[in-house]
Each structure stands twice: as C-alpha cells, then as structure tokens.
Amino acid sequence: MTEPINVVVTGAAGQIAYSLLYQIAAGTVFGPQQSINLRLLDIPPMMKVLDGVVMELEDLALPLLREVLPTAEPAKAFENVAAAFLVGAMPRKEGMERKDLLAANVEIFKVQGEALDKYARKDVRVLVVGNPANTNALICSHYAPSIPKENFTAMTRLDQNRAQAALAARLNVQVDKVKNVIIWGNHSSTQYPDAAHATVELSSGVKTVPSEINDNEWLNNTFVETIQKRGAAVIAARKMSSAMSAAKAAGDHMRDWWFGTKPGEWVSMGVVSDGSYGIPKDIVFSFPVTIKDKRYEIVQNLPINNVAKSKLDITSKELEEERAEANNVLKK
C-alpha cells in the first residue's frame, strides 16, 4: 500500500458522486495499491444526506479507504488534494437562460478555484464534470493562477463512451474492439462526435470504422445527432440526468490521466486550447489526447475534411460565446 492521497469530490451528496465514490474507494480509478482519503464537499443543507453517504462508505469495508471527511468548507475539502472531481454545479432549471446558468456557476467555480489555489497540491489534477463543464473548467483555472492551466480539464469522456458504444452496436462487436473515436469541442449539443479516424478490431484484422460501416449518411447525420442528443434522451426516459454513466466516464477520464493511454490509442478530454486545428486559444475544447506520466498531448496532424471543419467551427464559436458571457459576469 502506498501513502494515501487526498481526493475531493464536490456535489458529494448527489447522484453522480454516489456512483463515483465507490469507484474511487475500490481502487478502479487510482489503482489497487493506492490508498485514499476522501474529501466530500457539498452545501450545508446536504450535510445530513452526506452523513448517510459516509455510513455507506464505511459499510463497504474497503481496505484502500482510509479517511472520509464530509464538509461544507472548501478550505477543508481542498487541503493537500492530489485529484479533484468537481461534480457539483448549478443545474439548468426550466426557463433558465444559459447566461443565468453561467452566472450561477461562475460563483461556484470561483470559490472552488480560489480554494484549489490556496490549499491544493500544485500538481493537483482537476476534472470538471458539472455543466457547462468546459467553461466551468476555464473559470476555475482563472481563479487558481498558481496551478498550471493544463491541470484543469473538462469531461467529454461520457460522450466518447456513448459514441464508442453506438459504433460497436452498429458493427455488432464488443465495445472494446472500437478505438479512437473522437469528441471535438463542447460538452453540449454542438459537440462533434467523429468516427473518421476510429478503428475496429475484427477477426480479419484492424479496419477503419468508416470502411466497415460503409454508410456516410448514417455516420455524418444519424450517429452524430444521436450522440449530441443522448443526454436529453436519457433525461426524457429517466426523468433525471445521466448519473451512473457519467460517474463511470469521470473514473475513466481520471484513470487514464493518472496511468496513461496505450500506444496508438487516444482519448477525448476538454483541455485549454493551444491553437491546434485552428481552434481559438484559451477556451476549454475537447481534443483527442495521448497521455504519459500524467501529462497529456493533443494528437496532431489528423486530416480534417470540410464537413468536420464546419462542425469544429460551430462548437468553438459556442465556447467563445460562453467565455464572453462568463467574462461579463466576472467583471460585475
């Protein structure tokens, strides 16, 4: 067993955290040898619920889990943390405009950014799950200037997992046989799920997904729209947003960031743009990345056709608009 690391989960009394906490405590995220001190942050009215979550964590009887601290105080939650899952955010309510949602979230992620800056390890890995995740990650980074910008990421792994599963179903193969599907852009309905560079492992060898599906109409329209609208479809069916699948994706994202990607494979992460693929700098944009030694690099020089370029332009424009709205709030 290694020395415990401190891991914070915000919105810890919520649905996504409920599935995520087990993964972290059981060793599926940080490995079967890494002991964990959990810091559970939520708002004061949720402390009673958190007490129940703590009881359940105790009752799991997991050897890797050393300490559990439920708290409503960011200073305690972010103390010396090595990894942060920022799940808690203001949900969009009926009649709420996007600028209203951003205004509410600016305040939340300002407080958490400042707490990370003041109390967390400087090499902390921060994953923003709470929506609008890309712009929330940008805000959080803004308020934590002593932590490198590349240490703040937004989750598009749920979209990647959805896309991978949809392609595997279409090809009638196990989901792990499909590799290198990409989610470009925002975790919103403007995202661009891209199968152009994806591969599938068949008994006859590794093939390209587009050649095996052989249906550009399906790939460019039905597939893209299905993934873009999948979250809404889950809400329509379940009357609640994705929780189990979102928690699994958060664990996948952090595990790959911690341990790295396999040779020849990449994953999608929302990261601060460096201008790759002509994307405006300093927005948090989902790119394909490879990871080694806890550092990611954007995959370069993938051919992008005109259709894909137009999709990237749409989603980057939305992110620029969100950034502008967030900056307006910050100036008030």
Catalytic residues: 187
Q: Let me know the angle formed at the C-alpha of 160 by 159 and 165, rounded to the nearest 5 degrees.
A: 100
42 is in an annotated binding site: yes
129 is in an annotated binding site: yes
80 is in an annotated binding site: no
98 is in an annotated binding site: yes
323 is in an annotated binding site: no
**Quick check: 10 and 86 in contact, CB under 8 A?**
yes
C-alpha closest to that of 126 among 31, 257, 234:
257
**104-to-96, 131, 143, 281 alpha-carbon distances in Å:** 11, 11, 16, 25
255 is in an annotated binding site: no
**Quick check: 60 and 22 in contact, CB under 8 A?**
yes
Task: Give the C-alpha separation, 46 to 113, whole Å.
Answer: 21
For strands 152-154 and 178-179, give the pairing: unpaired
136 is in an annotated binding site: no
128 is in an annotated binding site: no
The CA radius of gyration of the chain, in Å to the nearest whole number, is 19
The total of other beta-carbon atoms located within 10 Å of residue 241's CB is 16
Q: In what order do the strands lie in the sheet with 178-179?
A: 178-179, 199-202, 205-208
* Residues flagged as binding site for substrate: 92, 98, 131, 162
